[in-house]
C-alpha cells in the first residue's frame, strides 16, 4: 500500500519565496500577495469576469444546475438547487511543463 505524504506549499511559503527573489521584506510581500488574492476573489464574487493568470490558468465561475439527488441514508430523492462553483482551468503552457 502506498504511503500518503503531505507536500503542501502554503501562502506563507510563497511569500517567503517571492521575498527572497525580489528583495522585498516578508511583511511587504505578504501584504502584496494578500492584496492580489483579495482582488481575485472580489473579481470572481462581484463581476461576471473570469480571472486569467497568464502562464498559470483561469478561474471561471460556473453554475451547477439544479438536479434531484438522493439522501444517502434513506435513498429518498432530494431537490438540490443550482449553485455557483469556481473552477480552475490550467493553462496550456503549464500543462505542457507538468507533462514533460
Element (H, E) at 53: strand 51-53
| Parent domain of 37 | 9-49
63 pLDDT more than 50: yes
The reply to whether 43 and 63 lie within a common domain is: no
Mean pLDDT, the chain, integer:
91
What pLDDT does residue 1 have?
A: 41
50 pLDDT more than 70: yes
Does residue 57 fall inside a structural domain? yes
Q: How far is CA 88 from CA 1, 58, 61, in A?
A: 31, 6, 9
Does residue 3 fall inside a structural domain? no
What pLDDT does residue 19 have?
A: 96
Residue 62: CB partners within 8 Å, gap ≥ 6?
84, 85, 86, 87
Range 79-96 average pLDDT: 94
47 pLDDT more than 50: yes
Query: How many domains is the chain partitioned into structurally?
Result: 2
What pLDDT does residue 6 have?
A: 67
2 pLDDT more than 60: no
Does residue 41 fall inside a structural domain? yes
Residue 33's nearest CA partner among 47, 21, 45, 46 is: 21
CB atoms inside a 10 Å sphere around CB 80: 13
Amino acid at each position: 500500500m502506498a504511503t500518503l505524504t503531505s507536500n503542501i506549499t502554503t501562502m506563507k511559503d510563497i511569500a517567503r519565496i517571492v521575498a527572497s527573489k525580489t528583495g522585498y521584506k516578508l511583511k511587504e510581500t505578504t501584504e502584496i500577495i494578500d492584496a492580489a488574492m483579495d482582488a481575485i476573489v472580489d473579481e470572481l464574487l462581484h463581476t461576471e469576469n473570469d480571472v486569467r493568470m497568464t502562464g498559470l490558468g483561469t478561474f471561471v465561475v460556473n453554475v451547477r444546475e439544479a438536479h434531484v439527488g438522493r439522501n444517502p441514508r434513506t435513498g429518498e430523492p432530494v431537490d438540490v438547487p443550482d449553485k455557483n462553483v469556481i473552477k480552475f482551468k490550467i493553462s496550456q503552457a503549464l500543462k505542457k511543463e507538468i507533462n514533460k
